[in-house]
Amino acid sequence: MRYSHVFGHTIRHDPKDETTANARLLVRAGFVDKLHAGVYSYLPLGLRTLDRITAIVREEMDAAGGQELHLPMLHPKANWVATGGWDAIDVLFHVPSRTGREYALGQSHEEVISPLVRARARSVEDLPLALYQVGWKFRDELRAKSGVLRGREFLMCDLYSFHADQADFDRFYAEMKSAYLRVYGRLGLTAKVTEASGGAFSEKLSYEFMVLTDAGEDDIRYCPACDFCVNVEVATVSAGDRCPRCGEAELAEARASEVGNVFDLGTRYARAFDHTVRGSNGAAVHPVMGCFGIGITRAMGVIAETFHDDSGLIWPRAVAPARVHLVTIGEAGAAAGPDVYRRLVAALGPRDVLWDDRRTSAGVKLADADLIGLPERVVVSDRTLADGDVEISERQGGAGRRVALAGIDRWARDLVAPEANLPVA
């Protein structure tokens, strides 16, 4: 990608109405643009990052046995009346039609997937089933002031599972909790598993995945010595109490953002939609259902909150919109640019190299590279070329180093194939 062609260049000054780092930096770096409160356009660099997050989520959902599908966002009112959600769910957008009918905008998809599965899963032989999508959700949130952490329109990976009995659900629940932790780990985040209430319709516990950040909207109490963690909303323990799980340390309290939530829905939806399957003994049973949600756009915001400094974003490699920022400076740098760019692209592919080919000052280019936050930077200037070199540095810090211009292909190949460096056994 040539930066001169990329839609959505950096903005010098902080947007006025944004207080959180994710909103300020994602807007300034040209990743998102606010249409109105809680509703953002994702520009090419921002969409690239969302895609990278989504790809990781997809891999883990597939590995857990999930099958991807796409569900509609415009729902008939009747489905939401059937579960009571039409009146009970305050964030549900109601959409009137000129025909006199009413619709709901999907805030979650139990009301769509339940009748879909009812029509196709008729016997316990058809179970278990794990179906997921990566799709936009709409919620009539009262406040949306934390950038992409709280949208009125946001991307979620929502998986729904259907089981012949509670034991099979419990097995899957445990597997999915591990899959979720793998997702957050791959995104560079440390998530704490928090026991919380089961949501609007359930007395059962749910598990929330919380990442510590002051920009979050949840308060959690957790043990610094073990994995005990609860949401303050439902907590029966206080900050400073001895940990009820390990007894080793006193509970701490912190702000956090909920990046995922998994629920045991029991047979509630199967009953609402009258879904039974033939059991092995011929009797009809209601399948047990689970629902599992990862906030993709929120995860992007939490990553931005977690990885930035005063100069800009610092993307973890796994989710960076591109790997290498090529900065050419001065006349000689500009002249060498096309050849270095071509060689980097040959090793990494066109999407992973962002070349700032603009005719602008070194100061502006380096400041923009800091703001955009790609993991690796290659600077080609009159000064480095005088020694036959380029300068390589990492956005996360540390001193830059010189590499011979002739060695740039090898360096780029090693970035994507680190095992190439291992000695052959």
Q: Taking each helix axis from N to C terminus, what angle separates 408-416 and 330-348, rounded to the nearest 10 degrees?
A: 40
The residue (of 260 and 373) whose beta carbon lies closer to ligand ATP is 260
What number of other Cβ atoms are within 10 A of residue 274's Cβ? 11
10 interacts with Mg ion by CB under 5 A:
no
Look at residue 151 and give the partner it binds from Mg ion, ligand ATP, none, a contact being a CB closer than 5 to 8 Å depending on partner kind.
ligand ATP
Q: Which residues contact 422 (CB under 8 A, 6 or more apart)?
A: none
Look at residue 259 and give the partner it binds from ligand ATP, Mg ion, none, a contact being a CB closer than 5 to 8 Å depending on partner kind.
ligand ATP
Provide the minimum distance between the beta carbon of 16 and ligand ATP in the complex, in angstroms, as a whole number: 22
> Which range binds Mg ion by CB under 5 A, 117-125, 257-265, 386-394, 413-421?
257-265
Q: Which of 261, 297, 328, 384 binds Mg ion (CB under 5 A)?
A: 261
State the DSSP code for 10.
-
Look at residue 373 and give the partner it binds from ligand ATP, Mg ion, none, a contact being a CB closer than 5 to 8 Å depending on partner kind.
none
Provide the minimum distance between the beta carbon of 62 and ligand ATP in the complex, in angstroms, as a whole number: 20
DSSP letters, 128-185, are: -EEEEEEEEEE---S---SGGGS-SEEEEEEEEEEESSHHHHHHHHHHHHHHHHHHHH
Provide the minimum distance between the beta carbon of 344 and ligand ATP in the complex, in angstroms, as a whole number: 35
Report d(CA 132, CA 302) in Å as an integer: 23
Nearest in space to 218 (alpha carbons), one of 324, 146, 131: 146
Burial degree of 162 (CB within 10 A; 0-12, 13-18, 19+): buried
State the DSSP code for 88.
H
The residue (of 10 and 54) whose beta carbon lies closer to ligand ATP is 54
> Which range binds Mg ion by CB under 5 A, 17-25, 131-139, 259-267, 302-310?
259-267
Provide the minimum distance between the beta carbon of 118 and ligand ATP in the complex, in angstroms, as a whole number: 22
The DSSP bridge partners found for residue 292 are: 159, 262
As given in the structure block, the two tokens for residue 345 are 């692209």
As given in the structure block, the two tokens for residue 371 are 């703001």
> Which range binds Mg ion by CB under 5 A, 118-126, 180-188, 260-268, 396-404?
260-268
Provide the minimum distance between the beta carbon of 291 and ligand ATP in the complex, in angstroms, as a whole number: 9
Look at residue 328 and give the partner it binds from Mg ion, ligand ATP, none, a contact being a CB closer than 5 to 8 Å depending on partner kind.
none
The residues that touch ligand ATP, with contacts defined as CB under 6 A, are 108, 139, 141, 150-151, 154, 156, 258-261, 293, 295, 297-298
- Cβ atoms of 264 and 227 within 8 Å: the answer is no
DSSP letters, 399-415, are: --EEEEGGGHHHHHHHH
The residue (of 158 and 352) whose beta carbon lies closer to Mg ion is 158
Provide the minimum distance between the beta carbon of 296 and Mg ion in the complex, in angstroms, as a whole number: 14
Look at residue 297 and give the partner it binds from ligand ATP, Mg ion, none, a contact being a CB closer than 5 to 8 Å depending on partner kind.
ligand ATP
As given in the structure block, the two tokens for residue 298 are 């929120």
What residues between 164 and 183 interact with Mg ion by CB under 5 A?
A: none
The residue (of 222 and 292) whose beta carbon lies closer to Mg ion is 292
Amino acid present at 31: F
As given in the structure block, the two tokens for residue 396 are 């996360």
The DSSP bridge partners found for residue 295 are: 156
Task: Please state whether 148 falls in left (phi above 0), alpha (psi between -120 and 50) or beta.
Answer: alpha
The residue (of 254 and 324) whose beta carbon lies closer to ligand ATP is 254
The residue (of 146 and 328) whose beta carbon lies closer to Mg ion is 146
The residue (of 295 and 312) whose beta carbon lies closer to Mg ion is 295
The residue (of 258 and 370) whose beta carbon lies closer to ligand ATP is 258
Provide the minimum distance between the beta carbon of 379 and ligand ATP in the complex, in angstroms, as a whole number: 37
- Cβ atoms of 136 and 73 within 8 Å: the answer is yes
CA 351 to chain centre: 20
- Whose CB is nearest to ligand ATP? 295
The DSSP bridge partners found for residue 255 are: 219
Nearest in space to 10 (alpha carbons), one of 328, 302, 365: 365
The residue (of 28 and 298) whose beta carbon lies closer to ligand ATP is 298
Phi, psi at residue 286, to the nearest 5°?
-80, 130
Provide the minimum distance between the beta carbon of 157 and Mg ion in the complex, in angstroms, as a whole number: 14
Provide the minimum distance between the beta carbon of 1 and ligand ATP in the complex, in angstroms, as a whole number: 28
Return residues touching Mg ion (CB under 5 A).
261
